[in-house]
Structure 1
Amino acid sequence: MNTIIVYTSMTGTTELMATTIAKELIKLGETVDQKDAMEIFVEELKSYDKILIGSYTWGDGELPDELLDFYNEVKNTDLTGKTGAVFGPGDSCYEHFARAVDILEQTLKSRGCEIITDGLKVDRESDEQIKSKCRIFSNKLVI
């Protein structure tokens, strides 16, 4: 399966998640491209079978500024026939824990993308715990 992982990261956690997921999917036989959200044109998504998006949550449950241009384009793109999933870190001390995952998942669904598995949210965990959760998440993505 031809997979794109689009992500944005501030502290490096989302990038760690994206890289771990990419490595695991490659081990499972998938072809994977990984791109920062500020370096991709949404039209490129159409050449992939599977779309994975990773983002941290900013402020009181908003998408980060670095993702907004990409997000606004996705909202106007037909993704019918594509599969996808979303992942991202959060902090459970906030009312809207890792809400970017929910926003992005709903947006993919609304554009016709079939969500393969529930979004992966991690909460101030060690890198090893995050990597372990990402490997489990990756295995759910291979259909």
Structure 2
Amino acid sequence: MASLLVYASMTGNTQDMADAVAAGVQEAGGEIEQKDVIDASASELEQADGILLGAYTWGDGDLPDEFLDFYEEMDNVDLTGKIAAVFGSCDSAYPAYGAAVDLLIEKLRERGAVVLQEGLKIELSPSNEETEICKEFGRTFFKNLSE
């Protein structure tokens, strides 16, 4: 079972989360391919057994610009029954905390994916403790995928 993790990161915070989530999946025995959203196509989601998406929230609650094309392409994919999860780096200085995570969960569900985990939102850069939370998120994702 191979999973695909697609993420967008500007300052490295979401990439740090992505690395930790991927490490958790691997620790649990899963295979995972990790891609920057700029190098990914939404059609690749249909080939994956499991889907992980990671995005920081831009401004007042928007997806990052580099995620917009991918997000629109998702309208053309069928993700029925696929296990998916979403994470992202957030900034509580803005009124909509981690809204990009919520937007992606909504889109995945709209396309038929099964999102069992609550979206993981970390304030800015993950601390050592939060890095462990990210790994656990990856392990839980793989457990859900394996059941």
Q: Is TM (by shorter chain) over 0.5?
A: yes
118-127 vs 30-39, which moves further = 118-127
2:21 matched to which residue of 1?
21
41-50 vs 82-91, which moves further = 41-50
Q: Is 1:58 matched with 2:61?
A: no
1:6 matched to which residue of 2?
6
33-42 vs 125-134, which moves further = 125-134
| CA–CA separation in structure 1 for the residues paired with 2:68 and 2:82 | 21
Identity percentage of aligned residues = 43
What is the root-mean-square deviation of aligned Cα atoms in Å?
1.2
Q: How does 1:95-134 map to 2 (within 5 A)?
A: 95-124=95-124, 126-134=126-134
Contact 1:116/1:140, CA 8 A, preserved across alignment = no
Cα distance, 1:138 vs structure 2: 1.7
User: What SS does the aligned partner of 1:14 have?
Assistant: helix
User: What SS does the aligned partner of 1:24 have?
Assistant: helix
Q: Is 1:46 matched with 2:38?
A: no
Judged with a 3 Å threshold, the aligned counterparts in structure 2 of structure 1 residues 26 and 67 are, in CA distance, closer, same or farther, namely same
Contact 2:88/2:121, CA 8 A, preserved across alignment = yes
User: What SS does the aligned partner of 2:117 have?
Assistant: coil
Contact 2:13/2:125, CA 8 A, preserved across alignment = no
User: What SS does the aligned partner of 1:134 have?
Assistant: helix
97-106 vs 130-139, which moves further = 130-139
Cα distance, 1:126 vs structure 2: 4.5
**Which letter does structure 1 place at the counterpart of 2:66?**
E
Q: Count residues in correspondence.
A: 143
Runs ≥4 in structure 1, deviation > 6 angstroms?
none
Structure 2 residues without counterparts, runs of 5 or longer: none
Pick 1 or 2: higher relative contact order, CA cutoff 8 A, min separation 6: 2
TM norm structure 1 = 0.95
User: What SS does the aligned partner of 1:75 have?
Assistant: helix
Structure 1 residues without counterparts, runs of 5 or longer: none
| CA–CA separation in structure 1 for the residues paired with 2:61 and 2:97 | 7
User: What SS does the aligned partner of 2:3 have?
Assistant: strand
Judged with a 3 Å threshold, the aligned counterparts in structure 2 of structure 1 residues 96 and 33 are, in CA distance, closer, same or farther, namely same
| CA–CA separation in structure 2 for the residues paired with 1:126 and 1:138 | 15
User: What SS does the aligned partner of 2:76 have?
Assistant: coil
